[in-house]
Structure 1
Amino acid sequence: MKKVIEKKIQSDNDCAYGYLWAAYNLAKRELPKEEFPFMLDLIEMAGKDLKRDSTVHYSSNQSISEFQSAIADVILEDKLSELKKCGVYSIVLDESTDNANRKRLLVYAQYLSKSEIDTCLLNNIEITEGSATADVIVSKILMELRDKGLNLDNLVGVGTDGASVMTGRRNGVVKQLRDKCPSLVGVHCAAHRCALAASQATKNIQEMEWYSRTVSNVFRFFSNSALRENKLREIQELLELPQLKYADIHSVRWLSLENAVSILYRTYPALCATLSHIGASGDVVAKSLYNDVCQYKFIALTHLLMDILPFVGRLSKLFQSESLDFSKVSPMVASTCDSLQDLLECEGVFVDKLFTFTVEESGSVLYRRPSEESVSKTVNEGIKSNIEFDGFETDSDDASTESETVGDVTLRYYQQQKESLPSITRKYVNAITQNLENRFEQKELMQCLEVLVPTNITKQTSIGSYGEKELRIVAENFSTQTAINVDDCMSEYRQYKRLVVGSYSNKSLIEMYAILENKFLRNYQICFFCLSAVLFYLCPLLSVNVDFPRRTESKQSLGHA
């Protein structure tokens, strides 16, 4: 009898596992709930008996929601257990709207788990109040932390996208949370800052604003008509150019300008030919666009941006790296600014090509370029040459080799506009570098925390005095919320420096955290706490994760996994 019961229990467990597995994968792959029965069919085909019959099959929307909710509760419970053991943590916030146009607040917690940064979606909260004011958001956050059993005193950082409701100096969310947690640091997402630095650089530069409007107009002209799209593809194929759709510029989408400009560069002859063909049939919008894109300054700015934007794009991608920490941000920004300033001293690869492709012939100015300039490999090689500059090349016989050209374009206003490019380059590059420097100006506390980075310690000629002043500021900041003695912290910091120089000079902060936790916790409690705080100050550098799990309810419910 016992064996029969055990067999029955095992059979039921296998059946339940099959249903839960199907519900979990449905959510993680963002599939509609209508796919659930087909997943069950697949499981049964693999030999699992799910005991479905005509009356009981557990595949209704309500059943699937209950399965997913149960899984999410278990995952969240495990995550919260890890978070509470860790001690300190940071939160990352973002506002959004769901498919039903309801206001939502996404609240993430970031903490260290097994010597790795981990992210946990605490909740996707619906804001039912009239507007998402700072007071409403703070009340939701405090309620959420209280419901999850998280100690507000252990909150050391909050990351946001920089919206005024979040970062307002008088009554913003960060300000109100700091009033309750004096040592809390608010961090504006690095990738957002980078995107804003690039997008806002076009302001007050008339030519760049005109260019952005023209790019958006080109996108709308073709995206609003399948007939025009078909004609564009037809001409692209005729000219043996890549068949690409034009992209729009979005202020909230990172790298959208770089993508839009790259497509325009690769298909520019086809764009002009298509607009000319459509305009000849009497389309006034096509005629107007043709007059714009055939101006010298349009293709000149396209070449210029092909030189500039990859530097900003590379910086943004580096900021989205999972291994990013705050000690790397300033060097990355400084390197990018230096590279951009170099373009003022020496033309980039694509501006240099512009002068080669622009030829005067029979009283007209033509834009004539080799067909391989539209190939992705050639474009990427040009970008790589800019980023990995290794000296000037000497002229060679290969440079004079003629290759097949594609789709000559007659440029307008060349004489009037050719002298303006250096001025525009200078204004735009200076605007971007100034924006980057202003937006990534480090706060005093963040600068002080850098004295805990092992590589910074080992680079110093005088280890004994290095970081004393900065570490005291850090210790005094945390002493407002913890019972640590500042003098004890300073003494342990001196031991920490000797430990780093002697045995761990090449370790990262996260690796040092693990070492202190496993080997020296009792002797280095103060430094352990400071390192913990550093790790959670670096966590909110990115709110990238917050921007993704929005699209479906099931994905949001399993955002912890």
Structure 2
Amino acid sequence: MPPKKQRIVVLPGQKTLLSFVGRDKNNNSENVEEMPQTSNTNTDIPDENMAVDEDPKELEHDKRDGPGEGIVNKDPRKYRPVWEKLWPWLLYDGTKMYCKSCQKAGKKNSLALGCTTFKTSTMSRHQETPDHKQAISVPVHQQEFTKSCNKLNSAEDEAVILAMMAVYWLASEDLPLNKYESMINFLKKIGVTKLENLKVNERTNYESYYSATEILDVIDSEIESEIDEKISKSPYVTILADESTDISNRKKITINARIINPETSIPETVFLRDKSYADGTGEGLTSVIIEEMAKHKITNDKLIGFGSDGATVMSGSDKGVKGRLMELNPHMVHIHCMAHRLALCTSQAAEGVPLMKHYQEWLTSVFYYFKASPTREGELHEVQSVLNLPILKCKEIHAVRWLSCFEAVQAVYRSLDALISYFHKRQASKDPKAKGLLKKMATTSFIYITYMLMDVLPIVSKLCLTLQKQDLDVAVAKVRTTK
């Protein structure tokens, strides 16, 4: 079957293929039909080669003067507001169109920077690009993240938060973590039903001792990160160190840091580490301190002070911790703890007075006399009650507790009449220890020393407690000690 003849539409004045070879005299044939020349010719018959997104009403064709010359668009393409309904992310400023999503996401494509190619194909191609898809997905991810944050206080999360609060309370009260499980059970019994969600299934729960240790490690890491942040912001750091023994008689060194808040210029003391050590020499203690400084990123030029108890191993200028730290920073200042120096002054001053030494021995004897027998202590309380005196116990003088002598003297001072009456009663029952204590007590020197100490020790004790404040500077100390 021969091919079907197609109808060719010729624009007014347009040359045909036959005209180039001189055969088209009338510019008309049976297969070629000239369009009538009217004003709306282009709008009635669209061009088959025209792009899909081109509006025939926007095009106006000129005459072809010869081969190789295309169609000139005298009426440029215009932005259509109706496009914003098809592509809500589209924005037009009067000269260029933009993609709002790509601009907000900081992309560098053509529509993000501004485009003047006003075609629907421009938007169609743009919405398929990876840049645009990624920019569109950002708000969706943000909404999902917000929903996740809103679910933070779900039932399981609230149960874990309560468990963390329980572990933190046990640690802050110096209670063992093996009490954690019984504490959780007790809280359930008194109506804290949210803790039921700590049990995931029959084999998995967060109520055991091991869960408590893991929670404590998480709390510890969070506190350490906060301390590290404070230290990094502080322009200067002072290290405070003291050595002692724990309840199991292991040697330990406690390391604290004195820092400054750069925004408020308020000093603050933060705890760094309570660490065991084997080498108690100046070199060994210095290595422990330097290791802790490196862990918290405290540089040598940032270390401007070192505070200690004044022991030789700490304050030695040659082989002590002070001398070795000054090798790292010669501008560092060593500070002997003022509260410790005050306690040393009072204790050493009492050793030079024989009467004071005998008085301390008597206080120690009275303490152990009543501690050895609950019956004696009960009888003393009965005498105090009859004389309308406060029910007090005799206190012990501790060598490691600053000014514990004040508490012991105060107890004797407030129960002086009751003690004399009780020892007289015990003497009548032929108690040799009571007779000896009464003999030392029934002297004018004993009464004088008791009243003299009660005039001096309250003032010294107040000064000592003031110097032990955690956040104290020179100005505050001067004001509090002069009141």
TM-score tier, shorter chain, comes to 0.5 to 0.7
Match of 1:269 among 417, 441, 444: 417
Distance in 2 between residues matched to 1:51 and 1:266, nearest whole Å: 53
**Counterpart in 2 of 1:364?**
none
Distance in 2 between residues matched to 1:277 and 1:260, nearest whole Å: 23
Match of 2:172 among 16, 28, 31: 28
> For structure 2, which runs of at least 5 residues remain unmatched after alignment?
1-143
Report the 3-state secondary structure (helix = DSSP H, G, I; strand = E; otherwise coil) of the residue aligned with 2:361.
helix
Q: Answer whether contact 2:423 2:434 (CA < 8 A) is retained.
A: yes
Report the 3-state secondary structure (helix = DSSP H, G, I; strand = E; otherwise coil) of the residue aligned with 2:331.
coil
Report the 3-state secondary structure (helix = DSSP H, G, I; strand = E; otherwise coil) of the residue aligned with 2:239.
strand
Report the 3-state secondary structure (helix = DSSP H, G, I; strand = E; otherwise coil) of the residue aligned with 2:401.
coil
Superposed CA offset, 1:445-499 (max 9, x none): xxxxxxxxxxxxxxxxxxxxxxxxxxxxxxxxxxxxxxxxxxxxxxxxxxxxxxx
Matches within 5 A, 1:27-426: 27-41=171-185, 45-48=191-194, 49-52=196-199, 53-113=201-261, 114-115=263-264, 116-127=266-277, 129=278, 131-322=279-470, 324-327=472-475
Please tell me the residue identity of whatever aligns with 1:27: A
**Counterpart in 1 of 2:159?**
15
Higher Rg = 2
Distance in 2 between residues matched to 1:154 and 1:111, nearest whole Å: 10
Please tell me the residue identity of whatever aligns with 1:176: R
Distance in 2 between residues matched to 1:8 and 1:85, nearest whole Å: 31
Distance in 2 between residues matched to 1:147 and 1:306, nearest whole Å: 48
Report the 3-state secondary structure (helix = DSSP H, G, I; strand = E; otherwise coil) of the residue aligned with 1:308.
helix
Q: Answer whether contact 1:18 1:43 (CA < 8 A) is retained.
A: no
1:184 offset after TM fit, Å?
0.9
1:250 offset after TM fit, Å?
2.0
Report the 3-state secondary structure (helix = DSSP H, G, I; strand = E; otherwise coil) of the residue aligned with 1:87.
coil
TM-score relative to the length of structure 2: 0.63
1:62 offset after TM fit, Å?
2.6
Report the 3-state secondary structure (helix = DSSP H, G, I; strand = E; otherwise coil) of the residue aligned with 2:227.
helix
* Greater RCO structure (CA 8 Å; 6+ sep): 1
Q: Answer whether contact 1:18 1:40 (CA < 8 A) is retained.
A: no
Q: Answer whether contact 1:18 1:50 (CA < 8 A) is retained.
A: no
**Counterpart in 2 of 1:391?**
none
1:328 offset after TM fit, Å?
5.7
1:5 offset after TM fit, Å?
12
Please tell me the residue identity of whatever aligns with 2:192: A
Superposed CA offset, 1:311-342 (max 9, x none): 21221122233553135657878x6xxxxxxx
Cα RMSD (Å): 2.6
Please tell me the residue identity of whatever aligns with 1:46: V
Higher mean displacement: 9-18 or 246-255: 9-18
Please tell me the residue identity of whatever aligns with 2:242: D
TM-score relative to the length of structure 1: 0.55
Distance in 2 between residues matched to 1:201 and 1:231, nearest whole Å: 36
Report the 3-state secondary structure (helix = DSSP H, G, I; strand = E; otherwise coil) of the residue aligned with 2:178.
helix
Superposed CA offset, 1:532-558 (max 9, x none): xxxxxxxxxxxxxxxxxxxxxxxxxxx
Report the 3-state secondary structure (helix = DSSP H, G, I; strand = E; otherwise coil) of the residue aligned with 1:125.
strand
Distance in 2 between residues matched to 1:97 and 1:149, nearest whole Å: 27
Q: Answer whether contact 2:269 2:471 (CA < 8 A) is retained.
A: no
Distance 1:5 1:211, change over 3 A: closer
Distance 1:5 1:21, change over 3 A: closer
Distance 1:272 1:9, change over 3 A: closer
Distance 1:117 1:50, change over 3 A: farther
> For structure 1, which runs of at least 5 residues remain unmatched after alignment?
336-387, 389-561
1:141 offset after TM fit, Å?
0.7
Distance in 2 between residues matched to 1:32 and 1:312, nearest whole Å: 36
Distance 1:138 1:4, change over 3 A: closer
Distance in 2 between residues matched to 1:253 and 1:243, nearest whole Å: 23
